[in-house]
Amino acid sequence: MATTKKKKTTRGRRNKKYFYIGGFKIKKTLFFVVISIVIILIGGIIWRNSYLWPWPSQDEIDQRLSDVVDACMYNEYSRACKSLTGKYNIEFEYCHALSDIPEIGKQIPVYGVAKLNSFKATSLDYVAPVMSEGAHAPGLLDSPVSARIKVREGQGEQGKGIYPYYGCADSIDEIDKTTDKSLITNPNTIALFGLSKIPQYSETYKSSGCTFHYADINNLWKQIPNISTIKNEGETIFKMYRKCSQRADSERSIKNLNNKISGYAKSYSVQLFFKKYDEWNTRSNVSCSWYDKSFPQRCGAGSDGSANSAGLGSMVKDFASEMQQHLDSNYFTSRVVVNN
């Protein structure tokens, strides 16, 4: 009995500063420090791997942008789309790309674009390029697509750059929606002015016979990728209906062709593309005369594209080529939705 009492007394005298686990003891202050560190580490790992982490890696940003495109394409009003765009602070919209020159009689490709809300688009206004080596070189100042030069100031700033999309809409049903706006009613920039000169085919009838009149296709229209198809259609009509007795069929075919051409010029999306080109092609110290009108721009839109042309380096295809280089970005991604 005396031995038992002694053991109880010994246990009762244990130091309250320690936790006793079997034959081991841990100081309470050390225990709480360790537990706190473990909780902080676990919490930090969870925070780091959550969307709340304020400094995501580029791979994580790319994945988020891709996830938004997956969730929102054709489902822009869905709960999943709205949840992801809100969670990641990303905007989703349907757009046309400035890298695609619109073609006559064809639908302009549509892209689903996911873009970080922190991205700020810089102006397309032309800035005189500077050689990357720090020196100017003859001829290169007029070649904005040269790989050796920096074309835009501020393009490398974080969160800023060229946004190579236009005509954007929140819904795929809204893009290319008919609008009363017209940029070619009284244009004062070179490409829109050239676009306003809509080529039309016609045929006249006299007692001596019938004469087919080819459309007057200016240098802007000649830069449209499928203009040769339009010319071939005109040639086909002329060959098919040589006889004046086929006047009704001839006039119907000519009207259809002319409607296709004028429909292209009157499309607001097409006009907006060439407006963007004009912004890019504007120069403060250069002017071009075309159709007896002066423009503060390079002559690219009114140029025949020859080596001696005044528009060398600023043709429509050069614009589209440069915009192609901006499609890959750390701040947005896209996927084609509708394509011809």
* Among 64, 57, 56, residue whose Cα is nearest residue 114: 64
Confidence of residue 179 (pLDDT cuts 50, 70, 90): confident
* Among 106, 276, 268, 278, residue whose Cα is nearest residue 194: 278
Q: What six digits make up the tokens of 32?
A: 């709480």
Residue 160 has pLDDT above 70, yes or no: yes
The answer, as to whether pTM is greater than 0.75, is yes
The pLDDT score that the predictor gives to residue 142 is: 43
* CA–CA gap between residue 188 and residue 271 (Å, rounded): 13
pLDDT digits (tens, 9 = 90+) for 98-121: 999 999 999 999 999 999 999 999
Decide which of 227 and 156 is more confident. 227
Are 269 and 200 a contacting pair, CB within 8 Å? no
Neighbours of 40 (CB within 10 A): 10
Are 162 and 326 a contacting pair, CB within 8 Å? yes
pLDDT digits (tens, 9 = 90+) for 287-333: 899 999 999 998 999 988 777 665 556 899 999 999 999 998 999 99
The pLDDT score that the predictor gives to residue 13 is: 57
| Beta strands at 209-213 and 202-206: parallel, antiparallel or unpaired | antiparallel
Q: What percent of the chain has pLDDT over 90?
A: 52
Residue 156 has pLDDT above 60, yes or no: no
Helix (H, G, I), strand (E, B) or coil at 275: helix
* CA–CA gap between residue 184 and residue 278 (Å, rounded): 13
Residue 201 has pLDDT above 90, yes or no: yes
* CA–CA gap between residue 275 and residue 195 (Å, rounded): 10
Decide which of 149 and 275 is more confident. 275
* CA–CA gap between residue 309 and residue 305 (Å, rounded): 6
* CA–CA gap between residue 193 and residue 281 (Å, rounded): 14
Q: What six digits make up the tokens of 289?
A: 């005369």
Pure H helices in 97-202: 190-196
The pLDDT score that the predictor gives to residue 132 is: 37
